[in-house]
Structure 1
Amino acid sequence: MPDVPSRARVVIIGGGISGCSVAYHLAKLGWTDILLLERKQLTSGTTWHAAGLIGQLRASQNMTRLAKYSADLYARLEGETGLATGLRQCGSITVALTGERHEEILRQAALARAFGVDVNELSPREVAGMYPHLETRDVVGGVHLPLDGQADPGNIALALAKGARMAGARIIEGVKVTRVTTAGGRVTGVDWEAGGDRGHVATDHVVNCGGMWGRDLAAQNDVTLPLHACEHFYIVTENIPDLAQLPVLRVPDECAYYKEDAGKILLGAFEPKAKPWGMGGIPEDFCFDQLPEDFDHFEPILASAVARMPLLASAGIHTFFNGPESFTPDDRYYLGEAPNLHGYWVAAGYNSIGIVSSGGAGMALAQWMNDGEPPFDLWEVDIRRAQPFQRNRRYLRERVTETLGLLYADHFPYRQMATARGIRRSPLHEHLKARGAVFGEVAGWERANWFATEGQAREYEYSWKRQNWFDNQRAEHMALREGVGLLDMTSFGKIRVEGRDALPFLQNLCANDVDVPAGRIVYTQMLNARGGIECDLTVTRLTETAFLLVVPGATLQRDLVWLRKHVAEAFVIITDITAAEAVIPVMGPRSRELLSLVSPDDLSNEVHPFGVARDIEIGMTLARAHRVSYVGELGWELYVPTDQAAHVFEALAEAGEQVGLKLCGLHAMDSCRIEKAYRHFGHDITDEDHVLEAGLGFAVRTGKGEFIGRDAVLRKREAGLSRRMVQFRLTDPEPLLFHNEPILRDGRIVGQLTSGNYGHALGGAIGLGYVPCRPDETGAEMLASAYSIDVAGRIVTAEASLTPMHDPRSERMRGVPGTAGSPPMAAAGDAA
């Protein structure tokens, strides 16, 4: 019988590189009684056959921070543990074969500069000089990252395991965790078996690092961990005489990567349509196993590779390898504590970048477990973004056929998933579809992003330039600015908080004062102890003891977790009522005129002012009309029972013919909100961004009494700001902004844009981003500098502003021209 202890502080399930990293980092933080259980042998799932590419540049600053940490960690592990990791910083080259791909890699190079990653842009001749075996006649250009490299995945995992053991962790192989036990919404332990032996380990913390086994293990406890294994192919050549050491090479237009190792070439593929694996479950004896060869599937990749690198034609194939790797619905891994089970942690679903990710992910998760909060913004990979329906196996099987290939597909802005669609639909979906809606998807919701005109193809034509819907967006945008537009925001998360203690409960969580009369709407944030923004929402007081919270659809699960985490002994009921109501925003200068055609109620400023919600008659039913706006114009959000939403839409559409009503999509809403400098959670504001530096101090009321984050707000007010959110407009109307473009102040990179879109009313691309400042620096001093934005290597002059460039006094939205309007209030941001 294996010597498994009866109790541990934490049990880590899975001995791949992820589990070994978590064990290592918890031990480094001083945790004792760490137990890692591996069903077979360390590295025997996916780690052992990974390609081991170490690329430091990722899509965001914090993901890049984690990847750079991994590389630094692997470089020092050998000295610490005596086990070689095979890390070799040979650099990497990515080449583009099309103008669109070249634009993408030039934007990536600009991003690298902003993040402090060494990068060089290469001409085709320079590419050939660095990689002489490559056919470069059709190469448009390349990007070189000299500090990238490659390593031995198995040895890294074993070095992490040895480091963990040296710090006191116990690692036991050949022991399978069969079940995680729980009581009262908390983890209590794990059941295990080994051969014919069985046992139980009591623990308060479990970390699911089970890789492709992780989903089914999590499902036993109703924990959503959406991932599915896919077959991943590569070949290794025979030894090639006189082959010098070469950089890692990526040719994403041919779905291929190349790694030179000990005189051989490894050629790997991320083909456009992948092969899911393990639909019937993973065999119990699976250990260091390969999957059957499928040369027909790999052959198109190989044919392109032989043309790209002719020396492969004469090199024999030593190994044809096919092994399983886990992929997720959005190509991002999962980290953090399960939303519905305290003490159940996850680090899994690495989408073929597990080696470069696991060092940093293990560090971040260990700190999260130790401190009770993430060390910095990890929303991109937070387990709370997963939707409960996403653990459906048919959904995952269909989606991962696409997500594997998306790793090397063109990463165009606004790219939409093509598979596993149509799962969550508004009651207006068919009405909008019949009128030309082109849908995107967020958190499973189908949302109208733009409306095609008569005869126009109802599909995206992707580009880094103006896409085929640019003029549609302009028309919708200007309807919202000059006429009246109708949107469908049913995807908003809607949470009812009620009970005897509802008011004090929300007062403790909200930075703004929600002790307002029934019918008042309050824009607020929920802060953490650092003053960072955990939730961005509106709170509407319905009655003395009942409140409606409206949050972005993508953050609903996260926000529910934050609320439930702080209930304690309060007498409060928290209910997700998202599916109960449709939301139909009617926005624009003529919105009052339209609503007056379908409602006998008085919608004047005197009777229905800004920031008020009240029931109104509309058509032949009732709606709760919230006078708020996320586009910065006069308007109302109509909250309608789901079963009556189609009727309300039909009444509005019929009456709308008299006032020029235009159906509008999320792209137009986003371009309007960015003109108004409204923040978008996950881009412009995160749990790492201080509410005052985000420019949201107008929504904070320190005088109301204690609330979470109040002390951090007071400290920041006393110390002064170290950075400020700035709005930018490119003076050249041609370039486009998306996000992450570097910001230059007086010619020096000082940050990057958090979001971007085109400001059709302002006549240029608009971006938001943080600019560092001195605590005593005035706004006038900041704006006296010269600002520009790096757009794919081209430096474009930008106008900067600390106040919204569109309607800075919010007079249009408040419907009171000529008065000084107080700071703007926006509905919870849910733009695409």
Structure 2
Amino acid sequence: MRVSPEASEFVEVFEKKSLPSKARAVIIGGGVSGCSVAYHLAKLGWSDVILLERKKLTCGTTWHAAGLVSEPPIASTPNLYKYSMQLYSSLEDETGIATGLRRVGSLSVALTEERKHELYRQLSLAAAVGAEARKLSVDQLRELHPYVDVSDVTAALHFPNDGQCDPTNVTMALAKGARMRGAAIFEGVQVTGVQTTNGRVSSVTWEKEGERGIIETDHIVNSAGMWARELGSRSNVAIPLHACEHFYMITEPIERLTRLPVLRVRDEQTYYKEDAGKILFGAVELKAKPWGMDGIPESFCFDQLPEDFEHFEPIMVKALKRMPILATAGIRTFFNGPESFTPDDNYLLGEVPELRGYWVACGYNTGGIASSGGAGLALAQWMNDGEPPFDLSGVDIRRMQPFQNNRSYLKERVSEIVGLTYANHFPARQMTTSRGVRRSPIHEHLKARGAVFGEAVGWERANWFAGEGQEREYRYSWHRQNWFDNQRAEHVAVRERVGLFDLTSFGKIRVEGRDACSFLQRLCSNDVDVPVGRIVYTQMLNERGGIESDLTVSRLTETAYLLVVSAFALHRDLSWLRRHVGDEFVVITDTSASESVLAVMGPSSRELLGRVSPNDLSNKTNPFGTFQEIEIGMGLARAHRVTYVGELGWEIFVPTDQAAHVFEVIEAAGVTVGLKLCGLHAILSCRVEKAYRGFGEDIGSGDHVLEAGLGFAVRTAKPGFIGRDAVLRKREAGLERRLVQFRLTNPTPLMHHNDVIFRDGRIAGTITSADYGHTLGGAIGLGYVPCKNESEEEVLSSSYEIEIAGERFAADVSLKPMYDPKSERVRA
């Protein structure tokens, strides 16, 4: 592959310009991502934008991309993929450079029953998110792609709007479109550093052919691809990504080869596309080869990596069987080039938490062409407006933890991530690489008692406990997995007796100082100016009334508070807090590692704690929503009377060095009251029964706090908090949708995230989170349904069904928790 002649001529124009000394934004990296950001910033009127490319446009990974574009319904940001397709369709008319976009459609085939189920779930979801898809018979599949072996195909889907494009020309068209609106693009310019002033980007230094200079700017965008991590590290910014080798083959021209749709055979980790009478077939191997452990060479340009046929051979064998025509076709190119991958298979977008004005758009995990059009639009709007245009939490770089920038961690993790691109997206699927990084003080205790661990942002967390002689492994399925009965036993123990959970992975943030109260009053929607010892459930809102954080705030002293947040949201929340400090005198500290949390939950929890502590835990002394300092065994702790399972219970905050002792004391005393060790799967089933919201699933920055049913935690009588005006406007205008709880009347099927909600026979939304309600006797889920100009009675009077892999099941609905709607058990 090479830059087309017209593109080369276009590039020559940029090289004749001199670099300015100031710019509103400097974009680093001239691949498709950087050019998309430049294009969209310029389109928003940011004419003072500069893009700097160290070598030549597209020379990192863009130039050798396969160029597949699609509207995947299961993506974290499907609307951005759809926008990319629309953008690439219009660029030729705008710029005169053809993008090579061909809407040839795509095919996804299943070779197993589990994959068939997943495809049919995608088919259901496609209609809900506006992506066109249809089910194919074997004969229809053969008609659309006569060269594929269909002998073992169990199901097939056709996505007619998918296609392919020329990655180089897409990039050049974006670059030209940016330049037409005033942006300047320079090649052969190496960014050597980013300077800061008072915690904010102030300038970049550059070098070109021995010449050096500086550009003053308030914003930089790191779109440096494989080099993004190293560039970030120079500014103490963590950008966790790592390169892996990516292989594909291109045949010689095949006689009479006709236009074909893109074919994906995910069970064999392969994809195929027809291009100019040839077949390109590539792989996303189950175990990939990391590359560039010692850094990506600065000299790397339009380079290829050494061939490794032994590594590719297993894929080749499958490909020859799947498409027999390849056996007689000559191979023109065996290509090996690098791509960058992130620890969770989602790309990195947004402003980094460490440094104001430092933005990233990178780590696309082989999906850079399909993603970059929409990602460039989203980031440009974010930079322009000061907040994301909609919920981008799935790709927001603030979801990453600092330790994930570790090179050894990344090298091991990305070897697995590549294969997950085409893996079955089973519920509760766990990563197997880079494990054991963060462990609770009682990890070995739990392991010895049968814990089966899952991983959450590095934390090893007990998800369920295996029985005597039971294997301690996941056996994945779309149906009841091998831990279903274990979860039920733990769930029942919490509902009927008492369970013990290790919740040490909670994020814990201490906010203290003279102005701690007034600061938190401004950020929190609820009233946190409460007596010492009180716990307040609240949200932090954005100016649209969307939920930026879901947390509890405990007043430790007159000038100190403890904020408890999700492990996944810790660094996002720290960033939100720190960036909203004005003239207040406050200190914000991450204290997550200083305390462990042992949750004792269930109707017998008071009796159990009474056996290990001399303190009074009665309702009179320690009512719901309060905490007190207590003794447990020979240790000291704080007992927080809160719950996420909907039962009487306490979260016991204990110094890390005393956690093992406190655990042993509670466990020993629990024998007489039926204590059971429980895992995170039991918490999920209990919290869904109680209709407690899950941050990042049911609620997020794009979900209005009132529509999420959390108005009880908002105090509009309190002036001046962020989002108050949006709450008042919504109350006056009325809700457009409501978060509803569903229960399938058939006790057999399971619901999962993204199952489709039907209201009176029409698509109404999707399930945001779900699990099995072992007490309520059926699958339970939460999801938003439209309700504009409707009363609660009208919402509830409709007929509801949930579609699961093409099959619909009747569902009961409620706006109140189906389990203990008056919270009498919680306050017992």
What TM-score, normalized to structure 2? 0.98
User: Out of 45, 59, 67, which is 1:30 matched to?
Assistant: 45
Correspondence for 2:509: 495
Cα deviation digits, residues 146-185 of structure 1 (max 9, x gap): 1011111110000000000000000000001011111211
Whole-Å separation in 2 of the counterparts to 1:224 and 1:471: 41
| Displacement of 1:413 | 1.1
Aligned match of 1:612: 626
The residue number in structure 2 matching 1:825 is none
User: 253, 256, 263: which one pairs with 2:270?
Assistant: 256
Q: In the TM superposition, what are the counterparts of 1:267-666 in structure 2 within 5 Å?
A: 267-666=281-680
Residues of 2 paired with 1:500 and 1:59: CA distance? 47
Structure 2 partner of 1:780? 793
> Matched residue of 2:717: which SS?
helix
User: Which residue in the other structure is 2:132 paired with?
Assistant: 118
User: SS where residue 56 of structure 1 aligns?
Assistant: coil
Structure 1 regions of 5+ residues with no counterpart? 816-832
In 2, are the aligned partners of 1:2 and 1:194 still within 8 Å (CA)?
no
Residues 58 and 67, structure 1, Cα contact 8 Å, conserved in 2: no
What SS class does the counterpart of residue 88 from structure 1 fall into?
Answer: coil
Shift of 1:405: 0.9
Contact preservation (8 Å) 1:529, 1:709: yes
Tell me the residue number matched to 1:202.
216
Match of 2:71 in 1: 56
**How far apart are the structure 1 equivalents of 2:714 and 2:386?**
24
Give the drift of 1:603: 1.1
In structure 1, distance between residues paired with 2:720 and 2:228: 41
Match of 2:698 among 660, 684, 687: 684
Match for residue 44 of structure 1 among 37, 59, 62: 59
Report whether the alignment pairs 1:790 with 2:791.
Answer: no
Amino acid at match of 1:369: M
DSSP-derived class of the 1:554 partner: coil
Question: Within 2, Cα distance between the matches of 1:559 and 1:5?
Answer: 37
1:751 aligned partner: 765
**Sequence identity (%):** 68
Give the Cα–Cα distance (whole angstroms) in 1 for the partners of residues 497 and 395 of structure 2.
Answer: 40
What secondary structure sits across from 2:455 in the alignment? strand
Deviation (angstroms), 1:340 = 1.1
Which amino acid letter does the alignment assign opposite residue 793 of structure 1?
Answer: G
CA shift, 1:575, in A, is 0.7
- Number of residue equivalences: 813
Q: CA separation of 1:58/1:353 partners in 2, compared to 1, >3 Å: closer, same or farther?
A: farther
The one-letter code sitting in structure 2 at the alignment partner of 1:423 is: V
Matched with 1:129 is: 143
Kindly provide the amino acid, as one letter, of the partner of residue 564 in structure 1.
Answer: R
2:170 matched to 1:139?
Answer: no
- Using the TM superposition, name which of 718-727 and 128-137 deviates more: 128-137
Q: Match for residue 11 of structure 2?
A: none
Contact 1:232 1:269 in 2 (8 A): yes
Partner of 1:15: 30
Gapped runs of 5+ residues in structure 2?
1-15
- 1:799 aligns with 812
**Structure 2 CA distance for aligned equivalents of residues 105 and 811 of structure 1:** 43
Distance, in Å, in 2 between the alignment partners of 1:742 and 1:283 is 47
User: For the Cα contact (< 8 Å) 1:531–1:712, is it kept in 2?
Assistant: yes
Within 2, Cα distance between the matches of 1:760 and 1:687?
A: 31
Tell me the residue number matched to 2:166.
152
Match of 2:6 in 1: none
- Structure-2 residue corresponding to 1:733: 747
- The answer to whether the Cα contact below 8 Å between 2:33 and 2:373 also exists between their aligned partners in 1 is yes
Q: Is the 2:73–2:125 contact (alpha carbons within 8 Å) kept by the matching residues of 1? A: no
Match of 1:3 in 2: 18
Alignment of 1:233 onto 2:269: no
2:416 and 2:173 map into 1 onto residues whose CA distance is: 34
SS in 1 for 2:202: strand
Residue of structure 2 equivalent to 1:242: 256
Question: By how many angstroms is 1:410 displaced?
Answer: 1.5
Q: Which residue of 1 aligns with 2:3?
A: none
Matches within 5 A, 1:713-732: 713-732=727-746
Task: Return the match for 2:826 from 813, 818, 826.
Answer: 813
Aligned counterparts of 1:764 and 1:521: Cα–Cα separation in 2 = 33
Opposite residue 31 of structure 2, the aligned amino acid is: G
Q: Structure 2 CA distance, aligned partners of 1:58 and 1:558?
A: 26
8 A contact 1:127–1:141 mirrored in 2: no
Equivalent residue of 1:325, what SS? Answer: strand
Paired amino acid for 1:481? R
Check the 8 A contact 1:230/1:277 in 2, yes or no: yes
Instruction: Give the CA deviation at 1:123.
Output: 2.3
Are the counterparts in 2 of residues 87 and 150 from structure 1 also a CA contact under 8 Å?
A: yes
In structure 1, give the amino acid aligned to 2:267.
D
What's the TM-score once normalised by structure 1's chain length?
A: 0.97
Partner of 1:824: none
Q: Using the alignment, how far apart are the partners of 2:529 and 2:479 within structure 1?
A: 48
Rounded Cα–Cα distance in structure 1 between residues aligned with 2:815 and 2:71: 33
Query: What are the within-5 Å matches in structure 2 for residues 163-178 of structure 1?
Result: 163-178=177-192
| Cα distance between partner residues in 1 of 2:260 and 2:624 | 64
1:26-105 → structure 2 map (5 Å cutoff):
26-60=41-75, 63-105=77-119
Report the counterpart of residue 822 of structure 1 in structure 2.
Answer: none
**Conserved in 1, the CA contact under 8 Å of 2:523 and 2:721?**
yes
C-alpha deviation, 1:733, in angstroms: 1.0
SS across alignment from 2:510:
strand
| Counterpart AA for 2:616 | D
SS of the residue aligned with 1:218? helix
Aligned counterparts of 1:315 and 1:689: Cα–Cα separation in 2: 53
CA contact (8 A) 1:123 1:140 kept: no
Q: Tell me the distance in 2 between the aligned counterparts of 1:806 and 1:124.
A: 46
- 2:73–2:131 CA contact under 8 A, matched in 1: no
Quote the Cα distance in structure 2 between the aligned partners of 1:38 and 1:292.
Answer: 25
Q: Residue type of the partner of 1:408?
A: Y
Does the Cα contact within 8 Å between 1:252 and 1:408 map onto a contact in 2? yes
Aligned AA for 1:4? L
Find the aligned partners of 1:621 and 1:327 in 2 and give their Cα distance. 45
SS in 2 for 1:453: coil
* In structure 2, C-alpha distance between the alignment counterparts of 1:774 and 1:272, rounded to whole Å: 47
Shift of 1:660: 1.0
Contact 2:245 2:290 in 1 (8 A): yes
Report if the CA contact (8 A) 2:249-2:280 is conserved.
Answer: yes
Partner of 1:827: none
Distance 1:255 1:399 in 2: 18
- Note if contact 1:510-1:525 (Cα within 8 Å) is conserved in structure 2: yes
Q: Who is 1:830 aligned against? A: none
Instruction: Report the 3-state secondary structure (helix = DSSP H, G, I; strand = E; otherwise coil) of the residue aligned with 1:813.
Output: coil
- Alpha-carbon separation, structure 2, partners of 1:58 and 1:159: 27
Aligned position for 1:697:
711
Stretch of structure 1 that moved more, 805-814 or 409-418: 409-418
Q: How far is 1:58 from its partner?
A: 4.1
Q: Secondary structure at the match of 1:814?
A: coil
